[in-house]
């Protein structure tokens, strides 16, 4: 696959690292970037050798500093709505990938960049990262899910403060409000992020996928819906070879060797 705006590599552990590679534009999301991102998401979803996805930005200034504003001039009400729906669909695909996805935030994480990060399983921020939804400063609103995921993660009041002022917050405040899971020194960001993913990948792959899905079902439905799915998923996981291996490993006090079966 020929890539112009992204870098993509898979290591020996099955962790795919996808790097947004427009550093001169602070890795802003243009149409070409989103098209390549969609293709790579399909590759990650369908390739069993890829067990987790790590997202980061090229350079040390930005993860993704939002959408490419130069493309806004051509918007009509209809084309803008379609663009919003396309971005929402794409980030929903990211959110429901069925594999752990970690956003390593190495600088400005604004607009569509924050919306993408919020669709990931977990977020790790460098100490110099700044996070925000500045769309109101441009006379628009968040269009790739920001008005929906942000209050789910940090609560209505803080989300509205961020959405209505458009002001970015520091990595430290993002951690304090639960928007990111960890804040680490910038030189340690990628190594820390990979170690966190490896902790997850040491567990049973099917249990990981079912857990991600169970949380998603519960957050997007009623408590009754979530509990019903959890019970069904618990039943499925109990019938796997991985469950038998996990129980045997626990009882014999040895590391489990999960096979994803």
Q: What is the pLDDT of residues 149-204, one digit of tens each?
A: 999 999 999 999 999 999 999 999 999 999 999 999 999 999 999 999 999 999 99
d(CA 23, CA 177): 29
Which pLDDT belongs to residue 201? 96
Which pLDDT belongs to residue 249? 75
Residue 257 lies in a domain: no
pLDDT, tens only, 195-239:
999 999 999 999 999 999 999 999 999 999 999 999 999 999 999
* pLDDT, average across residues 115-140: 97
Which pLDDT belongs to residue 258? 84
Residue 178 lies in a domain: yes
* pLDDT, average across residues 132-145: 95
Residue 261 lies in a domain: no
d(CA 23, CA 211): 35
pLDDT, tens only, 25-63:
999 999 999 999 999 999 999 999 999 999 999 999 999
Q: Please indicate, yes or no, whether residues 116 and 236 belong to a single structural domain of this protein.
A: no
Please say if the pLDDT value at position 255 is more than 90. no
Helix (H) or strand (E) holding 38: helix 31-46
Residue 256 lies in a domain: no
Q: Please indicate, yes or no, whether residues 229 and 179 belong to a single structural domain of this protein.
A: no
Q: Pick the last residue of a domain from 159, 175, 201.
A: 201
Which domain range does residue 229 map to?
205-251
**DSSP strand pairing (62-64 vs 101-105):** unpaired
d(CA 259, CA 261): 5
Q: Which of 36, 95, 135, 188 is catalytic?
A: 135
Whether 63 contacts 107, CB under 8 Å: yes
- CA 159 to chain centroid, in Å, comes to 18
Active site residue 4: no
Q: Is 97 helix (H, G, I), strand (E, B) or coil?
A: coil
Q: Which of 115, 127, 167, 241 is catalytic?
A: 115
Residues with Cβ within 8 Å of 256's Cβ and at least 6 positions away in sequence, in order, are 204, 242, 245, 246, 249, 250
Here the CATH number for the domain that contains residue 99 is 3.90.226.10
Q: Please indicate, yes or no, whether residues 130 and 234 belong to a single structural domain of this protein.
A: no
Here the CATH number for the domain that contains residue 217 is 1.10.12
Q: Please indicate, yes or no, whether residues 172 and 236 belong to a single structural domain of this protein.
A: no
Q: Please indicate, yes or no, whether residues 172 and 129 belong to a single structural domain of this protein.
A: yes
Q: Please indicate, yes or no, whether residues 108 and 149 belong to a single structural domain of this protein.
A: yes
Q: Please indicate, yes or no, whether residues 164 and 192 belong to a single structural domain of this protein.
A: yes
Q: Please indicate, yes or no, whether residues 78 and 21 belong to a single structural domain of this protein.
A: yes
Residue 258 lies in a domain: no
Q: Please indicate, yes or no, whether residues 189 and 212 belong to a single structural domain of this protein.
A: no
Query: How many domains does the chain fold into?
Result: 2
Residue 1 lies in a domain: no
Q: Which of the four pLDDT bands, split at 50, 70 and 90, describes residue 260?
A: confident
Which pLDDT belongs to residue 71? 78
Q: Please indicate, yes or no, whether residues 90 and 166 belong to a single structural domain of this protein.
A: yes
- CA 31 to chain centroid, in Å, comes to 19
Q: Please indicate, yes or no, whether residues 231 and 131 belong to a single structural domain of this protein.
A: no
Q: Please indicate, yes or no, whether residues 140 and 162 belong to a single structural domain of this protein.
A: yes
Active site residue 135: yes
């Amino acid at each position: 696959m020929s890539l112009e705006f992204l870098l993509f590599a898979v290591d020996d552990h099955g962790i795919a690292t996808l790097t947004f590679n427009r550093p001169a534009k602070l890795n802003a999301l243009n149409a070409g970037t989103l098209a390549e991102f969609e293709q790579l998401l399909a590759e990650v979803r369908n390739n069993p050798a890829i067990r987790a996805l790590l997202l980061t930005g090229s350079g040390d200034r930005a993860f993704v500093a939002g959408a490419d504003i130069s493309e806004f001039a051509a918007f009509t009400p209809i084309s803008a709505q379609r663009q919003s729906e396309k971005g929402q669909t794409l980030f929903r695909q990211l959110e429901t990938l069925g594999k752990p996805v970690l956003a390593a935030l190495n600088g400005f994480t604004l607009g569509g960049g924050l919306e993408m990060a919020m669709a990931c399983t977990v977020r790790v921020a460098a100490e110099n990262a700044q996070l925000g939804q500045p769309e109101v400063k441009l006379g628009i609103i968040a269009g790739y899910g920001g008005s929906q995921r942000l209050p789910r993660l940090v609560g209505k009041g803080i989300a509205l403060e961020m959405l209505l002022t458009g002001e970015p917050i520091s990595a430290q405040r993002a951690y304090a409000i639960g928007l990111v899971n960890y804040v680490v020194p910038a030189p340690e960001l990628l190594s820390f992020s990979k170690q966190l993913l490896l902790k997850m990948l040491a567990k049973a792959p099917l249990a990981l996928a079912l857990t991600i899905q169970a949380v998603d079902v519960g957050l997007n439905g009623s408590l009754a819906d979530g509990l019903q799915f959890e019970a069904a998923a618990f039943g499925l996981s109990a019938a796997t070879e991985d469950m038998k291996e996990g129980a045997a490993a626990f009882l014999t006090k040895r590391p489990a060797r999960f096979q994803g079966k």
